[in-house]
Structure 1
Amino acid sequence: MCARRYLGFVLLVWFQGVLHVRTSTRPCSAPGLNGGYWVPEQDTYNHKAKIVYGCDNGRKPAVEGWWAKSTCEDGTWSPKPQCIDENACLPPSIPNAIYTVSTNGWYENKTRIRITCDKGYQDKQRDATAQCINGNWISMPVCEKSVLACGAPPQIPHAVIIFQGYQDVFAVDTELQYECEDGYSVDGSDTKTSIYCISGNWTEGPVCSKWGRGPGTEHGGSGHATSAASGTQSERGVYHCGNPPVVPNAAVVGIGEMSLRYQCSIYYKLVGPEVVVCHSDGTWSEAPSCKATFCSVDTDKNPELISMGVKYIRDGQKHKLPCVKKSYWITDHFYIWQCVDGRSSFSECCGLLGRSFDAC
């Protein structure tokens, strides 16, 4: 019995302590502001009290503007009142980019920072640095959408995209997975499939169809076709042959009474018959195949290339790939990468400096 009373007393004391911590509203002391002044000037300030401060000549607040505000938040001023050198810089605003954040919230004069564009964006002028000069940032980088990035993915009937959050730009090599709604599938069995961002374009999206269901199914039928005249079951139609042939990198884009029409994804070429027929004996005719019409290179595995992940180009195209070689008078060097019949070829590492591809 004593043990229970003791435990109850301990829990009561602990609960009151937690409650006290949660409701704590400590006052603030006067801010230690070097090189500045504030109003109202007091020794202590209540929780949620506000002050306004300015700075002496040659200094400025560590926020935008020539005056600033701060609020007492449970014993601490937020944001912290600071007067910094007028030639220092505040953090820059660079959309679609990240950079090293200063621990004190501002940057000394002549500080240089390097930015990294978000995925799907690239440096507009291939200049990834900015420098603080006399209170202003010069040579401010700009991150624009990469020519290899993709915009919003295509909308597929009877399907949704499985990913968290919405975005306008997707980096090259991005994979997005679609899932067909209940009762639909891609090829008669799978309900999920993916598309990929390749050189600024999305690969062909899936077609979600009601495989395995007859014309009467949509209205609660049994899954078999029925004759309007006699009501007898029909064993003809593409459903008579069961699941259709699976053609990698292709989708069914047309369904006839006894045939299917296939279409290859972007960057693939159809080889063989475009139409597959369901025979009366329940077998399918010969299915086509899809031949790749693009080339790829993994820059992370080639020590002579600037690491940028896996890159793709279409057959018959040329593309610049930055290489590590540099010289005193030409800073940017490239390999000229060409794709012919699905095979890659490269020039020597060349400093283009505004010249055409043929210069290499």
Structure 2
Amino acid sequence: TEDEWSPPPRCIRGRTCSKSDIEIENGFISESSSIYILNKEIQYKCKPGYATADGNSSGSITCLQNGWSAQPICINSSEKCGPPPPISNGGTTSFLLKVYVPQSRVEYQCQSYYELQGSNYVTCSNGEWSEPPRCIHPCIITEENMNKNNIKLKGRSDRKYYAKTGDTIEFMCKLGYNANTSILSFQAVCREGIVEYPRCE
């Protein structure tokens, strides 16, 4: 400045990362340096027969301001799973990956009105997925089928009604018709998409 010097600069120690902080399970770093400067990228490799969750046997990590970037885990290739099996009338709740590490879990869900039977989740173990669930068909009560049997839904005015397996559907005769099947048949139970209609004459 006009009458005096501006404050002198300060030299501060640059951020570094240590090789000793790297812990890649079933993998290694081939470089010989022990200290790395900020933004330095180094290569790693998995042991033979091992790979990361995305199927790669090598890759890189970077020295960042708060330490090394996320360090991978190399797993035995024979223990990994591919995408989980598809199911009819349903699917997974997340985007599918090409490869899953052991003990990964994936959740399933069914389409509307379908009932999930079994566990919502499958688990990857020893290279295979556990048994996936089933999506059970609903019973679809239609006006056409009710008209054929001269019946209607009891206490409802729906022209089409969806019932899940195990649900009880109550029917009654239309005005002017009498029951032609047992009284118990008017409380029909949905069985995996099938329902036996009572009949009125």
TM-score, reference length from structure 1: 0.30
Per chain length, whose mean CA-contact separation is higher, i.e. which structure has more relative contact order (CA < 8 Å, sep 6+)?
2
TM-score, reference length from structure 2: 0.48
